[in-house]
Every structure is written in C-alpha cells, then in structure tokens.
Amino acid sequence: MLLNKNMNYGTFGKAYASSESYVASDTRPSLLFDIKDRQNFDDLLNRFPIVVVEAWAKWCNPCKLIMPKYNDLAYDFERAFINNKIIFLKDHIEDEESIHRSEVSVVPTFFIYIHHQRFIVPSFSELRETILTALQQIRSKSN
C-alpha cells in the first residue's frame, strides 16, 4: 500500500465517513472523498486534471453494492492520486450542497471531468477504460 495512514487527506474533501461506509470490511483507508460544497469541488477540479464522481443516495442499493468496487478502483489508480493526477469523489444527491443533484435521474451515475470538461460514464463497467483513456490523454499533453 502506498498511502500513509497518518497522512491528512482532509485537504481534498471530507473522507467518506467509516460509520456510513459500505467499505467497512476493507481494512484500507477509503480513497473516496465527499464533495463538501461548490468551492471544495471547484478547488478539486483546479488541483486534479481528472476528477471522477459518483452521484449516489443512501437509499440506493446498487450504490451500496458498487461502493467497495469504486474504492477498489480508486486503489487501482492510487499512484496517480498520490501524483495529483486523479481523485475519486462521492456526491450525495440528497445533500443540499450536492453539485450533481439536478443532473441525475438514476443513481448511481458516474461523471468524469478531464481538465474541467465533464463526461457522463454510462456504467461502472466502463469507468476503468474511460479513466485509462483520460490518463493517457493528460500524459500525451504533458509530453
């Protein structure tokens, strides 16, 4: 594991609370961060070239089932996270501060922002390939 358990990840957003986490069986710290408000989200968009967001709801059973897989996916890209290339966020659409509430008709819904440009990813199964393509794009732009 690359992450330092003592590192403060609070600057990225509120770490997904373990009391509500459906990743409870996982002993690793979560790499999923809640969007606190618009300013927090804008700061993250400015800091990371790739921002992945899952719009979810507490009552959503598919969201609960996908959450451990979403955290696993974040760990698959852990090195890119540490290098400030990507961050994985959660947007609880029932929160007043939700950024994506008006843009979601089905939960979970996944968004990926590549240099501020938003794309909707049709399904979780397509998310990995979309992220790989996005990482390749930002690598080719920086060369």
SS3 labels along 19-71: CCCCCCCCCCCCCEEECCCHHHHHHHHHHCCEEEEEEECCCCHHHHHHHHHHH
pLDDT number for residue 22 = 43
Average pLDDT score over residue span 123-132: 96
Determine the pLDDT at residue 26: 64
Q: pLDDT of 12-57, one tens digit each?
A: 544 443 334 444 456 788 999 999 999 999 999 999 999 999 999 9
Q: For residue 39, what are the contacts with CB-CB under 8 A and spacing of at least 6?
A: none
With a CB cutoff of 8 Å and minimum separation 6, the contacts of 63 are 54, 56, 57, 107, 108
pTM of the model: 0.84
* 19: its two tokens: 């009391």
- CB-CB contact of 35 with 41 (8 Å): yes
50 within 8 A of 134, measured Cβ to Cβ: yes
Q: In which order are the strands placed within the sheet that holds 50-56?
A: 14-15, 32-34, 86-92, 50-56, 109-114, 117-121
Q: What is the pLDDT of residue 2?
A: 43
Tens of pLDDT, residues 71-120 = 999 999 999 999 999 999 999 999 999 999 999 999 999 999 999 999 99
Task: Write the DSSP symbol of residue 125.
Answer: G
Euclidean distance between CA atoms 102 and 22, whole angstroms: 25
Q: What is the average pLDDT across 52-64? A: 96
CA nearest neighbour of 63 among 23, 118, 7, 113? 23
